[in-house]
Amino acid sequence: MNLHHKALRHFISASVIVLTSSFLIYELIASDRAMNAYMRYIMERADSSFLYDKYQNQSIAAHLMRTFEAPGDPVTAEKRRARVLRRL
């Protein structure tokens, strides 16, 4: 009878180890999948944010180029002095 109880104890111990290990492995895999999905989400948002910033920078650059290309009246020394005097 002693052998039967010893085998039963080993079977129960092995069952507990197998069930606990399988649960932990399942949780590890589920956590990995969730983290990968979250990282994909972050990457998509970062790409769209980067593209939006790039669009804004290009828009500002184009606006400045159009502004600087527009012909303006030449500023004479007298006009500069008048502007300085108006500020004072």
Q: Virtual CA dihedral for 62, 65, 70, 76, nearest 10 degrees?
A: 150
What are the structural domain ranges in the chain? 2-72
Q: How far is CA 67 from CA 11, 51, 61, 70, in A?
A: 83, 24, 10, 5
pLDDT > 70? residue 1:
no
- Whole-number pLDDT of residue 3: 64
Q: What is the pLDDT of residues 26-46, one digit of tens each?
A: 999 999 999 999 998 888 887
pTM for this entry: 0.48
